[in-house]
Amino acid sequence: MNLVHLLPVGKLDGALLRELRDAIPRRLHVACEVLPYELDPTPSYHAERQQYHSSEILQRMQALVRAHYWRLLAVADVDLYIPILKYVFGEAQMGGPCAVVSLHRLRQEFYGLDRDDALLGQRVLKESVHELGHTLNLRHCQDYRCVMASSHSVEWIDLRESTLCDSCRSQVESKAALAGKRA
Ligand SMILES: [Zn+2]
Ligand SMILES: [Zn+2]
């Protein structure tokens, strides 16, 4: 079965990572494991923006990809950006194998609201499935409930389901990428 490796970026909440590891296989036909080491985000920090360049994190992940890895999904807790945008929730390599998501702007506390671990867990799951969808060559979907809908704020993420719509699913399955067969 296709295997997604989760890569912690810096120190992360172990319970949250384990929850994500257990949840992803319920949305995509994949197995999921947490890697026993972490990626240091520091080299991707840009003081002029006080943020971390997500494309640079993806580049550095490339060196960690092993032949038996199907997808490598980094989970960060720092604020990510790409130069043309104020921030990103995540970024992926179209067609794979690497993607990164950040918890930073998924936390209610970021917006001055009370901490909500259940909501955070749902949001990071949706973002993870979304970025993994891009690694499977899926583009943004017009159906706002589809996990592949674009989102410019957490409110949009909350509107989405954590699953692919029928159209996105059939695109992926026609390539047999998620058919659960041996790659
Ligand atoms: Zn996207
Ligand atoms: Zn869709």
The pLDDT tens digits of the residues spanning 8-22 come to: 999 999 999 999 999
| Cα 171 to ligand 2 centre (Å) | 9
pLDDT band of 152, cuts 50, 70, 90: confident
| Cα 46 to ligand 2 centre (Å) | 34
Per-residue pLDDT tens over the stretch 66-99: 888 899 999 999 999 999 999 999 999 999 899 9
Q: What are the helix (H) ranges across 9-146? A: 14-27, 54-62, 117-135
Answer yes or no: are the C-beta atoms of 128 and 20 closer than 8 Å.
Answer: yes
Q: How far is CA 136 from the centre of its chain?
A: 13
| Cα 51 to ligand 2 centre (Å) | 30
What's the token pair of residue 129? 């499935």
Q: Using the predicted structure, report yes or no on whether residue 43 has a pLDDT greater than 70.
A: yes
Interatomic CA distance for residues 134 and 132, integer angstroms: 5
Which pLDDT belongs to residue 121? 97
Q: In this structure, which ligand is nearest to the CA of 165? A: 2
Q: In this structure, which ligand is nearest to the CA of 169? A: 2
Active site residues per annotation: 131
Which pLDDT belongs to residue 153? 94
Which pLDDT belongs to residue 1? 82
Per-residue pLDDT tens over the stretch 98-132: 999 999 999 999 999 999 999 999 999 999 999 99
Q: In this structure, which ligand is nearest to the CA of 89? A: 1
Which pLDDT belongs to residue 176? 56
Mean pLDDT score across all residues of the chain: 93
| Cα 169 to ligand 2 centre (Å) | 7
